[in-house]
Structure 1
Amino acid sequence: MKKPVLSIDEPEPKKPPRADRPPTEGFVVIVDSHFKSEFDTVEAAEASGRKLKSTYPMLQIEIYDAATRMRTLLS
């Protein structure tokens, strides 16, 4: 299979972020020790986590702050 040839005007496609490495900025919802959704604000991340927790109360949901590298358990 041949690789597509990129022209000079086309930028190289970005690599998707790896799921096993923590992000470097923003806030992330962690569900059962797996990084899931990324948000710009802690309020948005908590709202998403609380919605999941109300629907599926058996899940362990944490909010990860990339700037301080701290996890906060949502209860």
Structure 2
Amino acid sequence: MQRNYPPGEWLIGRFSRTTRIAITRLRTTALDAPRGTATVAVTLVEYRTVEPSPRTFSGAWGLVRVDGRWLLDEPHF
């Protein structure tokens, strides 16, 4: 994930004008506990200091379980 979305470019640059993100829908659509993978459907609203704001995104997150925690592996928007 960090290789595809380097924090310095993606998180800091992309979200520098974001003031808040609200998750309005989060639903498990697939779970493979033995393999440690899951997919969740997600809708989120991004609020920014510049237009357009707010912006709504819907898609899915691919998750992996690492050391007992679920981590984002692949965003699909």
TM more than 0.5: no
TM-score range, shorter chain: under 0.3
Q: Of the two, which has the highest radius of gyration?
A: 1
More helix by share: 1
State the TM-score, normalizing by the size of structure 2. Answer: 0.26
More strand by share: 2
Larger RCO, structures 1/2 (Cα 8 Å, 6+ apart): 1
